[in-house]
Amino acid sequence: MPSPEQEHVAAVLGRHYAADRLDAAELDRRLDLTFGGALNEALEGLPPLAATEPRRRRWGRRHGEADVADPSWLPTKERFIDPGTQRVMRVWVDPADHARHYVQD
């Protein structure tokens, strides 16, 4: 089971990934370091992030959120950290009506 420190570093890495400071391969490499106990090495070379206070969700899933992307949707490069869950979300667009959908990345 991960320690609270490892979970924190993993969340920080997720925020850097969402900000396009890391690609998926580098995120994976740094997460391996994190859960291997090399926390400082996992964060090496990354700028500090601004502190944010996570908001608590009061309801279930948010508008536009989906468990999986529909095969007809097109992925965008846009990613963000859901403030209520701290999950990295990718934005998908339905070409039929240009509706935006959010799927955990």
Let me know if residue 55 belongs to a domain: no
Contact 84, 55 (CB under 8 A): yes
Let me know if residue 56 belongs to a domain: no
Mean pLDDT of the chain: 82
Let me know if residue 60 belongs to a domain: no
Let me know if residue 59 belongs to a domain: no
Query: Could you give the CA distance from residue 78 to residue 72 in angstroms, rounded to a whole number?
Result: 18
Render pLDDT for 78-103 as a digit per residue (tens, 0 to 9): 888 887 788 888 999 888 888 888 89
**Is this structure's pTM higher than 0.75?**
no
Range of the domain at 34: 4-43
Render pLDDT for 56-69 as a digit per residue (tens, 0 to 9): 444 445 567 888 88
Q: What is the count of structural domains for the chain?
A: 2
